[in-house]
Amino acid sequence: MAHALHNMHKELCPGKVGLCSKMETINGTMLLKFIRKVNFTGIAGTPVIFNVNGDAPGRYEIYQYQMKHNTTEYKIIGHWADQLHLDTKEMRWPGGTLQVPQSICSQPCCPGERKKTVKGVPCCWHCERCDGYQYQADTYSCKMCRFDLRPNKNHTACEAIPIVKLEWSSPWAVIPVLIAVLGIMATMFVVGTFIRYNDTPIVKASGRELSYVLLTGIFLCYATTFLMIAAPDVGICSLRRIFLGLGMSISYAALLTKTNRIYRIFEQGKMSVSAPRLISPASQLVITFSLISVQLLGVCIWFGVDPSQAIIDYEDQRTSNPDMARGVLKCDISDLSLICLLGFSMLLMVTCTVYAIKTRGVPETFNEAKPIGFTMYTTCIVWLAFIPIFFGTSQSTEKVNVYFDN
């Protein structure tokens, strides 16, 4: 109060001893302003001041309970007067260390981890790793990578999934190629033998025209192996559609025409001595090519409805471990489309087998029907085994379609 009145007298009555007219009646509101402005050192050596609210600032001595030489004591390590003043050199921590421990409730999260806040404590969190195909989108959330991407090593971003295809050096390709080469060589040897003995009675009696058609179909079946292994693109996928079922259709159409001709000859022989119609070589070729044209017509319709293209399948090799994920480059031929493509060949095969069964009783001297029948029986067994195996392994890592025809 004395300091405030002294300061007030100096301002209102400068240079005058005693009260002046301005201080004869004391204005309490004005005096309060001078009280709040006082600033001096008290008898305890601490400053006497007031804050904007008229309150005296807190003054505290800060002690720390310390153990030294097996004795305990409270030691002053700082004080508070408007702000904190600490002497960190005088502070001691558990174990006698001088290092200041971290005073936080949560450690910083590593890259690829999101912060999951603790319920009721918004400043604390748990670190939760982005797993699977997720990446760290921001501090508090993980998001899924796009279907053709996978997370990088630390799950901080997405990267492209590697694209794979069947390589020529793969065992799944080398073995079919070797078999196909051997088959083509054997087929070419038979064709050469037929050409060399083209005018001999045994070649003529075997129906050389249909035999050449049959050999052409067998050659295409083996040659299709190379199309199935080649890197898929629009051209390769188009050729696969055309030749995948064409070779078998040519082979089965020729065999069906042969067995049908034998069946009609012997059935006609039971009723009359006149020869049945359409058994000449030219007629047989017309019938065969008519059957083959059905296959080609179906392929043309397929091209019109669904143009051929190469696609990358990211679902086939989408493993639980993103590091193992791969995109498979392949043609857009689904399993259902494949069955439809080979359906006509299956129909020709079944019909040919029926005629082979009907001609099983031909005379021993006319033995061409029996090898055809044996071929069709074994072919049916191969097909019955092929279909469940093919569809049962449709999710395997590497798959190559190889078709054999005897």
The single residue listed with the structure tokens 């059935």 is 267
Residues 193 and 275: their CA atoms lie apart, in Å, by 31
Where in the sequence is the domain holding 149, given as residue range(s)? 113-160
pLDDT tens digit string along 189-220? 999 998 998 888 888 777 788 889 999 999 99
Number of other CB atoms surrounding residue 356 within 10 Å: 25
Same domain, 266 and 371: yes
| First-to-final CA distance of the chain | 122
Same domain, 175 and 256: yes
Same domain, 26 and 130: no
Contact predicate 154/112, CB 8 Å: yes
The one-letter amino acid at 374? F
Same domain, 155 and 275: no
Structural domain includes residue 87: no
pLDDT in tens, the chain (406 residues): 899 999 988 888 888 888 888 888 878 888 898 899 998 888 877 778 888 888 887 788 999 988 877 788 898 999 887 788 888 888 888 776 777 777 777 788 889 999 888 887 778 888 999 999 999 999 889 999 999 999 999 999 999 999 998 888 888 889 989 999 999 999 999 999 989 988 888 887 777 888 899 999 999 999 999 988 888 899 998 998 888 888 889 988 988 888 888 777 777 666 665 666 767 778 888 999 999 999 899 889 888 888 888 888 888 788 888 989 999 888 887 777 777 778 888 888 888 888 878 777 666 555 566 777 777 778 788 777 766 766 665 544 344 333 333 3
Same domain, 327 and 248: yes
- What is the number of H-type helices and E-type strands within the chain? 9, 14
Same domain, 211 and 360: yes
Number of structural domains found in the chain: 3
Residue 45 is encoded by which pair of tokens? 């050596």
Contact predicate 159/150, CB 8 Å: yes
Can you point out the beta strands (E) in 82-207?
A: 84-86, 113-118, 121-129, 134-138, 141-144, 149-151, 158-160, 163-164
Same domain, 9 and 30: yes
Same domain, 257 and 379: yes
The single residue listed with the structure tokens 């179909």 is 217
Residue 355 is encoded by which pair of tokens? 């005629």
Residues 329 and 314: their CA atoms lie apart, in Å, by 9
Structural domain includes residue 84: no
Last residue of a domain, one of 160, 184, 215: 160
Same domain, 223 and 281: yes
Last residue of a domain, one of 160, 176, 197: 160
Same domain, 252 and 376: yes
